Amino acid sequence: MNAPLPLNITRSTAAQAYDDVARVSNEVAGKLAQRLAAETTGEVLFSPADRGRYATDASIYQQMPVGVFVPRTAADVKTALDICRDLQVPLVPRGGGTSQCGQTVGAGLVMDHSKYMRKVLQLDTEARTAEVEPGIVLDHLNASLKKHGLWYPVDVSTSAQATLGGMAGNNSCGSRSIAYGNMVHNVIGASAWRSDGTLLELGRYDTASGAARELGDYVKTLADQLRPELEAHWPKVLRRVAGYNLDIFHNQNEKPYTADGSVNLAHLLVGSEGTLALTKSLKLQLSELPRTKVLGVVNFPTFYKAMDSAQHIAKLGDGALTAVELVDRTMIELSLQNPAFAPTVRTALIGQPDAILLVEFSGASKAELTPKIKQLVDLMGELGLPGSVVEMIDDAPQKNLWEVRKAGLNIMMSLKGDGKPVSFIEDCAVPLEHLAEYTDALTQVFRKYGSKGTWYAHASVGTLHVRPILDMRRDGGQKMRAIAEEASALVRHYKGAYSGEHGDGLCRGEWVQWQFGPKIMEAFAQIKTFMDPINLLCPQRIIDAPKMDDARLMRFPPHYKVIPIQTALDWSAWNVQNDPVTELTSAPGTGGDPAQGFAKAVEMCNNNGHCRKFDAGTMCPSYRVTRDEKHLTRGRANTLRMALSGQLEGMNAQDAFTSEVVHEAMDLCVGCKGCKRDCPTGVDMAKMKVEFLHHYKARHGHTLKDKLVARLPDYAPWAARLAPLLNLRDRIPGLALLSEKLMGLSARRTLPQWKSSHFFNTPRRSASREQVLVATRPVVLFVDTFNGYLESDNASAALKVLQAAGYTVHVATKAVADGKALCCGRTYLATGMVDEARTKAKELLDALLPFAEKGIAIVGLEPSCLLTLRDEMLAMGLGAAAETVSGQAMLLEEFLAREASAGKLKALKDQLKPMAEPLLLHGHCHQKAFGAVTPIMEVLKMIPGAKPELIESSCCGMAGSFGYEAGHYDVSMQMAELSLLPAVRQQPGAVVVADGTSCRHQIHDGAQREAIHVAALLARQLG
């Protein structure tokens, strides 16, 4: 049990793999790891932390796999299958791991297809078909199809993370299933291995031969024998995803699986959740991209009326109706409380509706579709609701509203405390004529068990999502069972499908027999045996499934405990409990977390996988370049959770938290705060990294490089004096290499240059404390270390701009002078020195409080410094003073944008000379996290002729000192190359604005271009 952690298993260490793994796990695991390492080219991840990171998905379950395998090629997949068969180790294939029912949680070898198995193998634009590997993500496929006017239309909410293999596994369904159907309606072929290693080519039954034909004949015989059973027990709805698709031979679905009535054997695999075969590739039927869409948002006075109206709206069909989606009152309220969503939601509301339905029509032109909206308006008039429809014809407002709807579940999941909305009956599908009665009855059931549910999603097909709030650490399991029993009785009463979208997994497997009866269940078991007689593939799913409330399978079982920690930062806001009905939370600090709220903050990650995204936004740069679960926000949260709860095997709980294993997972986190903004449940890994480093460094000590970085604000005055000497590092050959050896600073980087003459030792014309306190247009300028010592032209420029705008500017200095400049403590936080950062912050507060108390704006230039005042400083136990100062702290561009909108910047605008060059803006991550990108765009637009263009970039990769470190150089450059550097190179004549010191340095190093601070550009335009 004492093998060194983490285990590093590669081809070259394959011989050692058996010993290493067998010691921490068991003999079979050792053999498995050894053979995978020796016989494949894939990644072999068997350390306790790796296994912990793959022990969960977006469900309530957790099971520790034997190991994890990340294949690079189809040959690797086949070899791994053969090895698992030889050693009798179950195999659990996985894509993005976003299943909600525990489909990817299993005790065998978890095989992650998402990293490498993601090629489009073939595209036929004429026939509109594509053949893809199973690990390709839907959004990535659709991005590649867009230029051909095509798309794959099963538009699941998780389109940015769901893989086609996973979607096929679950028979996933999108918001527009009323028009396009589910996965089963859009897959036309599959190539897949049975557990005996036979490769099946599955397509049309009538032309099948060999093993595929045998399978078809076998299932057809079963289906023929059971025809009366199918007619009697099979739900007659579009959304039924439970069990196996035995009905391919005698269709029971509202929408036949094929247009021509033929039987396609690939459909047997769709929805089989990896239990029948291992998918090698899928052949997909593509659709023409809808040219245009219109949206009618119907506002309802009662939820019941909305549900009752859905059946009538669905009849407006005739192909143009592509979605009818519900957003209920709770969701509307939550969205209105979210600053990012509120303005969008308001555009959809008439008064205070109890629910809204988003009714979408798609077609060739707006002109063709506008009459459809008219029909909707007329229908609502007939149903007694005249004037209830908001007509959205333009694309932009529609797109914004769909984003809010897609974020629905995640908005709900942001509830703090141990009670969480739990997914177990969230996709029951009932015929539309019963929707109102069904939802009403289920709401009563929730009430009976002291809970409530928020309803949303696919009203068009009778699949409404709802999650009652349950506390799984206490009585949640019992309540879950009781509610499930009553919900299932309702589903049966209304002849619906118990599992209508999210599949069976661990959660609904026990309900498969309940749904279909013993004879069909027996047929399912026979199909499983025919395909996988040795029960190698995802055992105990669909067949022989466990009880849904088996506490041994839970992520948060009643015995779940975390270690006590004395935290450095204040996490009390997470240390709360909630009321499942009112959703009100108790006072901060009362939640009973022995880790003072830190553990509960970590546990906010519900594994939904939203951080695996590559689209606009920042989260998560380290995943974007590595595609490793370990370097993903979710992977980090899981690693921390495993450590804090003593689940990292081979370590005692106290040591685990400050171990190298956790350090390794946190290492590539650049602290960009992308997750703080983009993670739907608000997982703030940047802040967690500070907390972690505080404890880790307390145990392991600070390195020379840590001290050099952290203490920069302290030694800056004398470093400036020694500038000619210190700058030699980048001039004398060999010194850079020496600095890499001694201090870990990359020799491939230049370092910022010190200057003997800088802002702080240059005489300037600015107001005193006393003058600014009585001025009519006062502002306080907080000049940080970087802009004061290293790029002091920016500080001078800011002073010039503010004065040109007519402000009385005071440059903040320490209340008690000691020859040093004020500092926010950022460099100390970055190295986990929270106590030293607190001392700096305290000095800053003492200096700034008198101005903040008078409501005077405190303006800063470096986003990571200034925004510390609005973020970490509030978590350092500095009381009301920190709140007051935080309330007045703003970036220069935020201040100027505010003043401009109040009509106070006419004088400045009149002085700005026009500019003709193209203008590019790279937003600093913290600017993005705090919504400061819009203000800077507004400010840049004040320059006559300026047409600023925002670079859609994630983190620049420099992130303070991160990119300077030798061990991070490559990853840092890869982050920059994702989009920032290519965008800069593409416009050689453009002025590039970047407010972050490190961003400018990265642009200099990577594109050999000099980016400038917004203050410098404005000052330049003043002439």
Binding site for ligand SF4 (CB under 6 A): 605-611, 618-622, 633-634, 636-637, 669-675, 679-681, 683, 685-686
Q: Is 426 in the site for ligand FAD (CB under 6 A)?
A: no
Q: Are 880 and 861 in contact (CB under 8 A)?
A: no
**Min CB(88)–ligand FAD separation in Å:** 19
**Min CB(378)–ligand SF4 separation in Å:** 42
- With CB under 5 to 8 Å by kind, the binding choice for 57 among ligand FAD, ligand SF4, none is ligand FAD
The token pair that represents 570 in the structure block: 């204040």
Q: Which DSSP helix (H) or strand (E) runs through 1006?
A: helix 997-1007
Name the nearest CA neighbour of 105 among 478, 533, 555, 524.
555
**Min CB(95)–ligand SF4 separation in Å:** 14
Closer CB to ligand FAD, residue 278 or residue 429? 278
**Min CB(499)–ligand FAD separation in Å:** 11
CA angle 921, 927, 933 (to 5 degrees): 50
Q: Is 76 in the site for ligand FAD (CB under 6 A)?
A: no
Helix, strand, or coil (residue 356): strand
Closer CB to ligand SF4, residue 683 or residue 1015? 683
Per-residue DSSP letters for 507-576? Answer: HHGGGHHHHH-HHHHHHHHHHHHHH-TT--BSTTSSSS---TT-GGGBSS-TT--------SS--GGGS-
Please state, in angstroms and rounded to a whole number, the distance separating the CA atoms of residues 249 and 247: 5
**Sole binder of ligand FAD in the list 56, 158, 335, 831 (CB under 6 A):** 158
- With CB under 5 to 8 Å by kind, the binding choice for 509 among ligand FAD, ligand SF4, none is none
Interface with ligand FAD in residues 114-153 (CB under 6 A): 134
Please state, in angstroms and rounded to a whole number, the distance separating the CA atoms of residues 51 and 649: 10
Closer CB to ligand FAD, residue 630 or residue 1013? 630
The residues facing 994 across adjacent strands are 922
CA angle 694, 695, 699 (to 5 degrees): 115
Side-chain half-sphere CA neighbours of 950 within 13 A = 18
Helix, strand, or coil (residue 326): strand
DSSP state of 102: S
Q: Is 281 in the site for ligand FAD (CB under 6 A)?
A: no
Q: Is 324 in the site for ligand FAD (CB under 6 A)?
A: no
Among all chains, which residue has been given the structure tokens 């009855």? 441
Q: Are 837 and 894 in contact (CB under 8 A)?
A: no
User: Using CB under 6 A as the criterion, what x/- string covers residues 391-420 for binding ligand FAD?
Assistant: ------------------xx----------
Closer CB to ligand SF4, residue 576 or residue 812? 576
**Min CB(67)–ligand FAD separation in Å:** 16
- With CB under 5 to 8 Å by kind, the binding choice for 281 among ligand SF4, ligand FAD, none is none
Q: Is 989 exposed, middle or buried (0-12, 13-18, 19+ CB in 10 A)?
A: exposed
**Min CB(1005)–ligand FAD separation in Å:** 36
What are phi and psi for residue 191, nearest 5 degrees? -115, 125
The token pair that represents 290 in the structure block: 């809808």
Single-letter amino acid, residue 144: S
CA dihedral 906, 907, 913, 916 (to 10 degrees): -20
Closer CB to ligand SF4, residue 31 or residue 826? 826
**Min CB(683)–ligand FAD separation in Å:** 14
**Min CB(595)–ligand FAD separation in Å:** 26
Closer CB to ligand SF4, residue 685 or residue 781? 685
**Min CB(218)–ligand FAD separation in Å:** 20
Closer CB to ligand SF4, residue 52 or residue 203? 52
Closer CB to ligand FAD, residue 84 or residue 162? 162
User: Using CB under 6 A as the criterion, what x/- string covers residues 525-564 for binding ligand FAD?
Assistant: -------------x--------------------------
**Min CB(610)–ligand SF4 separation in Å:** 4
Q: Which DSSP helix (H) or strand (E) runs through 370?
A: helix 366-382
Chain centroid to CA 252: 37
Q: Is 163 in the site for ligand FAD (CB under 6 A)?
A: yes
**Sole binder of ligand FAD in the list 63, 157, 460, 868 (CB under 6 A):** 157
Among all chains, which residue has been given the structure tokens 């929270």? 834
Number of residues that bind ligand FAD (CB under 6 A): 38
3-state secondary structure 635-672: HHHHHHHHHHCCCCCCCCHHHHHCCHHHHHHHHCCCCC
**Min CB(925)–ligand SF4 separation in Å:** 7
User: Using CB under 6 A as the criterion, what x/- string covers residues 481-520 for binding ligand FAD?
Assistant: --------------------xx------------------
- With CB under 5 to 8 Å by kind, the binding choice for 468 among ligand FAD, ligand SF4, none is none
**Min CB(637)–ligand SF4 separation in Å:** 5
**Min CB(724)–ligand SF4 separation in Å:** 37
Helices of type H across 627-762:
633-644, 653-657, 660-667, 674-678, 685-700, 704-710, 712-721, 723-726, 735-743
Per-residue DSSP letters for 204-230? Answer: BSTT--HHHHHHHHHHHHHHHHTHHHH
Closer CB to ligand FAD, residue 95 or residue 462? 95
**Sole binder of ligand FAD in the list 153, 274, 419, 421 (CB under 6 A):** 274
Helix, strand, or coil (residue 424): coil
Closer CB to ligand SF4, residue 158 or residue 275? 158
User: Using CB under 6 A as the criterion, what x/- string covers residues 166-185 for binding ligand FAD?
Assistant: xx-xx-xxx-----------
- With CB under 5 to 8 Å by kind, the binding choice for 362 among ligand FAD, ligand SF4, none is none
**Min CB(803)–ligand FAD separation in Å:** 50
Please state, in angstroms and rounded to a whole number, the distance separating the CA atoms of residues 286 and 292: 17
Binding site for ligand FAD (CB under 6 A): 57-58, 92-100, 103-104, 113, 134, 156-158, 162-163, 165-167, 169-170, 172-174, 273-274, 278-279, 409-410, 501-502, 538, 608
